[in-house]
Amino acid sequence: MTALPPDPDPNRTPGLEPGGGVRPGDTPPDSGSVSGLSHPQPMPGRTGPILTYIIVGLIAVCAVGLVIAQLVGLIDVLW
């Protein structure tokens, strides 16, 4: 079984001229559309982004702490 074409039937569309064109100034009929969501999309969880920010923040604090400790003289690391 074949699906119906999305374009309107020219035999049942008012205002068409011979050959399927429209008169100047008229808007041609639009094709059918099936766009849209098939079902509601679930909200994404907040755990992933928050956990990522926390991990990045901890790494940044540790890096700054190591630099400060090296500058003060608490640790001696030569890179």
**Is residue 61 scored above 90 in pLDDT?**
yes
The total number of structural domains that make up the chain: 1
Residue 9 lies in a domain: no
Q: Is 59 among the domain residues? A: yes
Please tell me which residue, 1 or 30, carries the higher pLDDT value: 30
Give pLDDT, residue 21: 72
Going from the C-alpha of 25 to that of each of 21, 28, 60, 64, 77, the distances in angstroms are 12, 9, 64, 69, 79
Confidence of residue 23 (pLDDT cuts 50, 70, 90): confident
Establish if 57 belongs to a structural domain.
yes
Residue 16 domain-assigned?
A: no
Q: Which residue has the tokens 């639009």?
A: 30
62 falls within a domain: yes
- Reference 28, options 39, 17, 38; nearest CA is 17
- Residue 67 covered by a domain: yes
Higher pLDDT, 41 or 5: 41
Does the residue 6 lie in any domain?
no
The C-alpha R_g of the chain, in whole angstroms, comes to: 33
Q: Domain of residue 52: give its range.
A: 47-79
Residue of 58, 40, 39 whose CA lies nearest to 50: 58
